[in-house]
Amino acid sequence: MKEEIKAYNSVLELIGNTPLIKLNKVSADLKGNFYAKVEAFNPGHSTKDRIALYIIEEAEKRGILKPGDTIIETTSGNTGFSLAMVSIIKGYDCILAVSSKSSKDKIDMLRSMGAKVYVCPAHVSADDERSYYNVAKRLHEETKGSVYINQYFNDLNVDAHYRSTGPEIWEQTKGKITHLVACSGTGGTISGTARFLKEMNPNIKILGVDAFGSVLKKYHETREFDNDEIYPYRIEGIGKNLIPTATDFDIIDKFIKVSDEDSAHTAREIVKKEGLFVGYTSGAAFQAVKQYAEDGEFDADSNVVIIFPDHGSRYMSKVFSDEWMSEQGFFDSVNQEEALKIEI
Q: Which residues of this protein are in contact with ligand PMP, per CB under 6 A?
A: 77-78, 183-190, 237-238, 279, 281, 309-310
Q: Measured at the alpha carbon of residue 75, what is the angle toward residues 113 and 41, in degrees to the nearest 5?
A: 60
Instruction: Quote the least distance from Cβ 343 to ligand PMP, whole Å.
Output: 25
Q: How far is the CB of 18 from ligand PMP (least distance, A)?
A: 14
Question: Which is nearer to ligand PMP, 143 or 248 (by Cβ)?
Answer: 248
> Nearer to ligand PMP by C-beta: 27 or 184?
184
Distance CA 322, CA 153 (A): 37
Q: CB-wise, 69 or 235, nearer to ligand PMP?
A: 235
**Parallel, antiparallel, or unpaired: how do β-strands 20-22 and 33-38 relate?**
antiparallel
User: CA distances (Å), 75 to each of 81, 86, 132, 257, in order?
Assistant: 9, 15, 9, 24
- Contact criterion met (CB below 8 Å) for 246 and 154: yes
Q: Give the shortest CB-151-to-ligand PMP separation in angstroms.
A: 7
CB 185 to ligand PMP: min, Å: 3
Contacts of 94 (CB under 8 A, 6+ apart): 70, 71, 83, 84, 87, 113, 114, 115, 116
Q: How far is CA 161 from the centre of its chain?
A: 12
Cα(91)–Cα(112) distance, integer angstroms:
16
Question: 109 or 331, CB closer to ligand PMP?
Answer: 109
Specify the long-range contacts of residues 58-62, CB closer than 8 Å, at least 24 apart: 58/156, 58/159, 59/147, 60/90
Which three-class secondary structure state does DSSP give residue 106? Answer: helix
Q: Which is nearer to ligand PMP, 82 or 134 (CB)?
A: 82
Closest CA to 81 of 122, 39, 115, 116: 115
CB of 209 to ligand PMP, least distance (A): 9
The one catalytic residue in 48, 90, 217, 218 is 48
For ligand PMP, give the closer residue by CB, 249 or 331.
249
Instruction: Report the distance separating Cα 110 and Cα 117, nearest Å.
Output: 7
Q: Is 48 a residue of the active site?
A: yes
Beta-sheet strands, E only, within the chain: 20-22, 33-38, 70-73, 93-99, 116-120, 146-148, 179-183, 205-211, 254-258, 303-308
What are the b/e assignments for 192-222, b being 16+ CB within 10 Å?
bbbbbbbeeeeebbbbbbbbbbbbbbbbbee
Comparing CB distances to ligand PMP, the nearer of 117 and 183 is 183
Residue 307 CB, nearest approach to ligand PMP (Å): 8
**Dist CA 308 CA 226 (whole Å):** 28
Minimum CB distance to ligand PMP, residue 233 (Å): 13
Catalytic residues, by residue number, are 48
